Amino acid sequence: MYNKTLTNVNSNLQEIVVTLGDSCLEKVLSYRDEGNMNIVVSLNTQGNDEKYVIRFKKISSDVDEKQQNFNDHKHELMSFIHFEELLQKYFDHFTVVPKIAFVDVDISALNEFLMRDRPVVRRTKVIGHNYGLLYRDVAFLPKEIYIGKQINGEFKDSPTICIEIKVKQGYVMTNDDQCAQKCRYCYFQYLKLKNAKITQISSYCPIDLFSGNAERMNRAIKGLFDNPQNNLKMFQDGKMVYNEYSPDKHSLKRIMKSLFPDVKSVDKQEILMINLIRKILTKDFTCCDNEIEICTGYESTENVHLRRCIGEMFSELPSNCILSSILKAQHLVGDNLTNMEFFEKEGMNAIDGYEKIVQDYRLGSTALDCSVMITLRKVNCNESFDNEIEKLVNKNHYLRLNVPGRSVQHFAVNVTVVDLDEKKDALAHYRKYKKQYMESKFAYYEFMKSIQ
């Protein structure tokens, strides 16, 4: 449906030119998802071809796209790629470094084509450049992990499910006052409620998710299921099926049913899915840690407004899992808050070695807003385990779940960190970070006074 050609950008980077030819856009492109700054479009590959997405930067819809400077934007994309390479120290095999792509298409026609599938609240911005970033599509399992059973080049036995979680800050502020009860995320919920950004407070708490404790993690994932906001999205075979704009619980139930068709109770299906997600988030992908232990606890009768976000030493969180990698990077912000406060008062070059401090802060602030993409497929198994496991190229990406009273369920799984957008102005981010945190705390105490 389209052609890709490589051209040299410099000695380290390559530019991929994506030529769509004479095909109509709906045959070669599909809307995938978007945030405030970027929009993601999928390339409709055929058969057994590797799948890709392109991420375009958005501009205000009242800006003339023809005035955008291609070379400046390409340089910005090159800087982004170099920054992601710096993050490899923390995220290692959990990241997918993109390539620069030039899409040979009329941008006005592309924007018009995508508009019908975009959320209304996002339509104030449009794609402004032919240049974007080409990624392997992490909504599907890569071939180096799983080959599976295919019919005419496509998987037919079960869908591929992708769950995106924007985990947020996984530690409690250490320099806070003694009256603090909430983490940064939970405080911010009350500011969003005050500003009518949300209609109800989420029971999700990132401190629970990063705790490593099975019951607390299950409670956090359950909170995301019940109130996704912009912290949870689900895709099935690359199509969005559940998010804050489409919080259709029937879609969620259909996903759970596809994973656990022999389990009749919806509540039990939910427990199994929550445990599966928890296991993937805490899995060490460098070894064959295959078993999933079922924890049925996650309910809490505690008043969400009074619940304290209790931070621990995270001794229960495995050192090589994705959450540990994210937390390690996030702490670069907390560890440098005092330095950033000093820079705010005295200037950025007030002490020797300020470049390292600023770079660490920028890396950490990126980790605060990153997302985790969990990709999984149920591996149907009617044959022996040895025959089934041969479908997995990388055995470290295999999980088995012993469903109580039923047969063993097999899964091929993967996890990737995305949305690693560089915060270029560290001092500006620090000021916003501090201001937002104080406003959020005030909104919480204001809310508590209003309900007393």
Contacts 24+ apart (CB under 8 A), 339-344: 340/426, 340/427, 340/430, 341/430, 343/427, 343/430, 344/427, 344/430, 344/431
Task: Enumerate the β-bridge partners of residue 41.
Answer: 31, 54
Phi/psi for 440 (5° steps) reads: -70, -40
Yes or no: say if 124 and 53 are a contact pair by the CB < 8 Å rule. Answer: no
* CA dihedral for 86, 87, 91, 96, sign (positive or negative): negative
**Measured distance CA(24)–CA(197) in Å, rounded:** 38
Identify which has the larger pLDDT, 195 or 310.
195
Whether residue 319 is predicted with pLDDT greater than 90 in this model: the reply is no
Whether residue 8 is predicted with pLDDT greater than 50 in this model: the reply is no
Whether residue 295 is predicted with pLDDT greater than 60 in this model: the reply is yes
Phi/psi for 360 (5° steps) reads: -60, -40
The H or E element that residue 51 is part of is none
Q: Which of 104-118, 192-206, 401-415 has the highest mean pLDDT?
A: 192-206
Whether residue 384 is predicted with pLDDT greater than 50 in this model: the reply is no
Whether residue 138 is predicted with pLDDT greater than 60 in this model: the reply is yes
Question: What mean pLDDT comes out for the span 144-166?
Answer: 73
pLDDT tier, 444 (very low <50, low <70, confident <90, very high otherwise): very high
pLDDT tier, 342 (very low <50, low <70, confident <90, very high otherwise): very high
Whether residue 149 is predicted with pLDDT greater than 60 in this model: the reply is no
Give residue 148's pLDDT: 62
What are the CA-CA distances from residue 16 to residues 3, 57, 83 (Å)?
Answer: 10, 17, 19
Task: Enumerate the β-bridge partners of residue 377.
Answer: 160, 412
- Dihedral class, residue 152 (left if φ above 0, else alpha if ψ from -120 to 50, else beta): left
pTM to 2 decimal places: 0.90
pLDDT tier, 329 (very low <50, low <70, confident <90, very high otherwise): very high
E strands, 195-300, where?
A: 232-236, 239-242, 291-292
pLDDT tens-digit series, residues 271-292 = 999 999 999 999 999 888 888 8
Yes or no: say if 326 and 372 are a contact pair by the CB < 8 Å rule. Answer: yes
**Measured distance CA(340)–CA(408) in Å, rounded:** 52
Yes or no: say if 373 and 415 are a contact pair by the CB < 8 Å rule. Answer: yes
What are the CA-CA distances from residue 2 to residues 7, 127, 210, 388 (Å)?
Answer: 16, 20, 42, 34
Identify which has the larger pLDDT, 179 or 109.
109
pLDDT tens-digit series, residues 246-263 = 767 788 899 999 899 888
SS (H, E, C) 67-113: HCCHHHHHHHHHHHHHHHHHCHHHHHHHECCCEEEEEECCHHHHHHH
pLDDT tens-digit series, residues 21-49 = 666 888 889 999 998 889 999 988 765 67
